[in-house]
Amino acid sequence: MSEQSQSTEGKSAEGSAEISHDPVRKITKYILFLTAFLFIWYVIADRHAPWSDQARLQTYVIPIVPQVSGRVTEVFVEQDQIVKAGDVLFHIDQSDYKLAVENAEAALELAGQEIGAGMAAVVTAQAQLVVAETNVEHVKAQSARVFEMEKKNVLSHSDGDKARAAIKASKAQVVSAQANLDKAKQALGKEGNENPRIRSAIAKLKKAQLDLSRTVIVAPADGGITNLQIDTGYYANAGVAAMTFVEGNNAWIQVNLRENNLANLAVGNVVEIALDVNPGAIYQGKVSSIGFAVDTASTSAVGGLASVESKTGWLRDAQRFPVMITFDDDSTRGLRRLGGQADVQIYTGDNWFVNSMGKLWIRVLSVLSYIY
C-alpha cells in the first residue's frame, strides 16, 4: 500500500506540474486579465477620456452666386484650384452695365440742369414778388392823395373808388406773386444734394456703378474652388450659384459622441487629433462647443401627427450629440479637406493614468491609419 500511495502522489504532482506549465491555460488567463483590464478601462475612459472615430473635418462652404446677370467673358479658375482672398474668379460682360453708368451720369447732369432752371424760376418769382410789393406801396401813396382831394371835393367819389380798386388790385398782385414764388420753391425742392431729384439721380448712379463692379466676381477668402459649373460664353443668372468655394482659413472637427460620453465634458477640454490624411501625426485642439439638441425625427410638421420610431432588442442605440473641436494652431493648414476623417481623444481631467492610456491609444490609432 505504501508503494502504491507514493506512486499515486507522484502522478498527481506530475499532473499539477503539467497543468501549471500548460501554455494554453496561461494564454487564456492572460487574455482574461487583458479583457478585464480593457473593459474597466473602457468604462472609465467613456466618462473621463472619451474617444471616437466618428469625427470629420468641417469648414465653411460658400456658393459663389453672381449678383448680376450676363454672359461670362472670362473664367480665371479651374476645378479644385486653390485661391487667395480677392483673386478674380470670373468676369461677366460689362457692356450693358457700362451703358447704365453712362445713362445714370447723364441723368444726374440733367437733374443738375433742372435744379439750375428751378433756381432761376425761384429768383424770377422772388423778383416779381418784390415788384408787386413795391407797386402796392406806390398805389397806396397815390391813392392817399386822391382820398385827400376827394375829401375837399376837388375830385369826385368816382375817382376815389378807382383809387380803392387800384389798392385792392395791387394787393392781389402781391398774393399772386407770393403764390408763384411758393410754387417755384415747391417745384425746386431742397437745395444742393438734399434735393430729391439730385438724391434720386445719385442713387441711380451708385446702383449702376455697383452693378458694374459686381461683374467682377472675386474669392471671398483663402480657400479652394470646387463644383465649377461655368465656362466662357455661359449665361450667368443673378442668384444662381456658378461654383462652390470652400474656405481654408477656418476649420474644425465635428465629433459625434454618445450621450454617456458627455457627463464630464466641458468647453476648453484638451483634445488630441489624429487625421487620416496624415498618419502618425498628432495635432492639438480643444473643445469649443457641445451640442445640446439633435433632431430625433419623432415629430412632424405643425398640424401633423407625431411619428414614433419603434425599435426592438435588448439594448437601444446610443444617442449621439455633436461636439465641435478647434485646432490650437495652423499646423494642419494644407491638410484640411472638408469631410476628412479623424480620431479624437478628449481629456476631461488631470488623471495621469487615464490620460496616459488615452495618449497611448490615440497614437496607436494614428499609426494604424497607415494601413486602413
pLDDT tens, position by position, 49-77: 898 888 999 999 999 999 999 999 999 99
Q: Which residue do the cell numbers 480593457 mark?
A: 38
Q: Are residues 146 and 101 in the same domain?
A: yes
Q: Are residues 345 and 286 in the same domain?
A: yes
Predicted local distance difference test score (pLDDT) of residue 48:
84
Whether 15 maps to a domain, the answer reads no
Mean pLDDT of the chain: 79
Whether 186 maps to a domain, the answer reads yes
Q: CB burial class (10 A; 0-12, 13-18, 19+) of residue 211?
A: buried
Q: Are residues 336 and 356 in the same domain?
A: yes
Whether 157 maps to a domain, the answer reads yes
Q: Are residues 282 and 234 in the same domain?
A: no
Return the CATH number at 174.
1.20.58
Check residues 328 and 151 and name the one with the higher pLDDT.
Answer: 328
Dump pLDDT digits (tens) for 158-206: 766 676 777 677 677 767 767 765 666 666 556 655 667 777 877 888 8
Q: Are residues 74 and 220 in the same domain?
A: yes
Whether 191 maps to a domain, the answer reads yes
Q: Is the pLDDT of residue 307 over 70?
A: no
CA 132 to chain CA centroid, Å, is 65
Q: Are residues 270 and 296 in the same domain?
A: yes
Q: Are residues 231 and 161 in the same domain?
A: no
Whether 133 maps to a domain, the answer reads yes
Q: Which residue do the cell numbers 460664353 mark?
A: 233
- 79 φ/ψ sector (left φ>0, alpha ψ -120 to 50, else beta): beta
Whether 33 maps to a domain, the answer reads no
Helix (H) or strand (E) holding 62: strand 51-64
What is the C-alpha separation between 49 and 355, in angstroms, rounded?
A: 7
What is the C-alpha separation between 242 and 69, in angstroms, rounded?
A: 11
Return the CATH number at 329.
2.40.30.170
Q: Are residues 125 and 188 in the same domain?
A: yes
Whether 371 maps to a domain, the answer reads no
What is the C-alpha separation between 339 and 336, in angstroms, rounded?
A: 9
Q: Are residues 356 and 258 in the same domain?
A: yes
Q: Are residues 225 and 81 in the same domain?
A: yes
Q: Are residues 89 and 222 in the same domain?
A: yes
Split into its structural domains, the chain has a count of 3
Range of 232's domain? 66-93+215-240
Q: Are residues 125 and 52 in the same domain?
A: no
Whether 3 maps to a domain, the answer reads no
Most confident of 105-109, 215-219, 314-318: 215-219
- Residue 217 is placed in which grid cell? 466676381
For residue 18, report the phi and psi dihedrals to the nearest 5 degrees. -65, -40
